[in-house]
Amino acid sequence: MEQIQIIDSKNHVGETVTIGAWVANKRSSGKIAFLQLRDGTAFFQGVVVKSEVPEEVFQTAKNLHQETSVLVTGEIREDSRSKFGYEIGITNVEVVSESHDYPITPKEHGTDFLMDHRHLWLRSSRQHAIMQIRNEIIRATYDFFNQHHFVKIDPPILTGSAPEGTTDLFETNYFDQKAYLSQSGQLYMEAAAMAFGKVFSFGPTFRAEKSKTRRHLIEFWMIEPEMAFTHQEESLEVQEQYVAFLVQNVLDHCEYALDVLGRDKEVLKTYTKLPFPRITYDDAIELLKKNGFDDIEWGEDFGSPHETFIANSFEQPVFILNYPKAIKPFYMKPHPTREDVVICADMIAPEGYGEIIGGSERATDYDFLLEQIRDHGLDEKEYSWYLDLRKYGSVPHSGFGLGLERTVTWIAGIDHVREAIPFPRLLNRIYP
Ligand code: 4AD
Ligand code: MG
């Protein structure tokens, strides 16, 4: 008997196969047992008919507990009534290991309880669907950047620099020196762009932010492309093409997961239309003021209600361009005709999901950058390698960072970023 994964059913219809699985749920009468099974690739039904199997097989099936692991043998059949489309007509069940009193039952549980049991919660169909979408976004990311001849480069996690400001750094000892967990690989990606032209990274980043919101993680994964000989306008085009590509691939490859989550696919389709709208920071402030927001002044950063209002004024993700210099990091290129703003953009997701991309054109002038480093109170010795990039063949270059979990949260249409990562690190949670 061949051992297969249920996801491969269409190649095995009519065959008798063996599948390693767990019992997610069970319904049985005197004559028939319906096992809701999951083998890691999908959730599916196994049917055991008393009159068609040896009595001990039926008794074993009837007495299975939630999350008992089993080897089920039977015939793969098409099942047009289920969304998954296939089921297995079971002829034998072998228990691999018993499970008793599984803590997560089909009833409702509170979030804290579920978060304490994250190691088990991941087995549920909803979490499974979210992780499938996360996986697809990662897969499509590699696809997109490979198609466009970007080289994947891995920046370090232990660093001496603070690209996004010094307030939210995780400090650690590096023998007798201080080091920080990376809050962005960008500065290293700029070095890599000067070596390889177009590069992207994908890795964990850390922010010791004391923010307890639906959008903030302490540890999150970022995709950071960086492009030599590229101005901001071209970078924005890459960004919108990339995000539309992610949405399209999730639509193409995660239909089942989207259905499990109840995500409206028609709405998602509208996010694949290009270009995405652009609005300047100045105009965004004016838009907010005109609509009764008197809690924000030019020069201040947007809060989540502001971002949501701006996003709701458009039907697609929207770029907000050229923020005030004072609220953005030291490395951004100054605007050619205005001293008070920089050449940057954030992409704000629709439906209130907030900022998913932050990016900019980078300053190319050595003297300007040195001044910025000093003005931001950074130690210029630690940035001398970065300044070298402006000494030896400096070129216009731009890049951006896409937050993976925020993007998953938005595309999956879920409420909280904590469900978009397998083991979230949150303000008050480093367990499990
Ligand atoms: O806007 P940020 O801070 O930009 C950078 O780090 C740049 N150095 C990126 C670059 O240009 N290479 O972060 C980029 C994105 C945000 O738009 C958001 O999606 C995500 O990272 N992000 C977070 N996601 C979850 N939890 C947090 N605490 C996040 N902080 C930022
Ligand atoms: Mg940002």
The answer to whether the CB of 203 falls within 8 A of the CB of 403 is no
Mutation probe of ligand 1 site: the residue of 206, 243, 406, 409 with most atoms within 8 A of C-beta: 406
- Residue 232 burial (C-beta neighbours within 10 Å; 0-12, 13-18, 19+): buried
Taking CA atoms only, the protein residue closest to ligand 1 atom 28 is 216
Residue 55: pLDDT band with limits 50, 70, 90: very high
pLDDT at 7 over 70: yes
- Helical packing angle, 232-253 and 404-412, nearest 10°: 50
For residue 249, list its beta bridge partners.
Answer: none
Ligand 1 proximal residues by C-beta, below 6 Å: 163-164, 184, 186, 207, 209, 216-217, 220, 222, 224, 355-359, 399-401, 403, 405-406, 417
For the CA atoms of 180, 182, 187, 191, the dihedral, rounded to the nearest 10 degrees, stands at 100
Q: Is the pTM of this model over 0.95?
A: yes
What's the CA gap between 331 and 161, in Å, rounded? 12
**Confidence band of 160 (pLDDT split at 50, 70, 90):** confident
Whole-number mean pLDDT of the chain?
A: 96
Q: Which atom of ligand 1 is nearest to the CA of 163?
A: 8
Average pLDDT, integer, range 200-229: 96
3-state class percentages of the chain: helix first, strand second, coil last, to nearest 5:
35, 30, 40
Which has more confidence, 378 or 203? Answer: 203
Q: pLDDT for 16-51, tens place per residue? A: 999 999 999 999 999 999 999 999 999 999 999 999
Q: What is the pLDDT of residue 1?
A: 63
**357 Cα to the center of ligand 1, angstroms:** 7
pLDDT at 171 over 80: yes
Q: Is the pLDDT of residue 119 over 80?
A: yes
- Distance in Å, CA 45 to ligand 2 centroid: 45
* CA dist., res. 21 & res. 44, Å (int): 10
In tens, the pLDDT along 236-276 reads 999 999 999 999 999 999 999 999 999 999 999 999 999 99
Residue 293 has pLDDT above 90, yes or no: yes
Q: Cα(353) to centroid of ligand 2, in Å?
A: 13
Residue nearest to atom 24 of ligand 1 (CA): 403
Residue 165: which pLDDT band, with cuts at 50, 70 and 90? confident
166, 181, 184, best to mutate for ligand 1 pocket (most atoms within 8 Å of CB): 184
The model's pLDDT over 322-371, given as tens digits with 9 standing for 90+, comes to 999 999 999 999 999 999 999 999 999 999 999 999 999 999 999 999 99
Residue range 337-346, pLDDT digits in tens: 999 999 999 9
**C-alpha closest to that of 322 among 229, 233, 401, 227:** 233
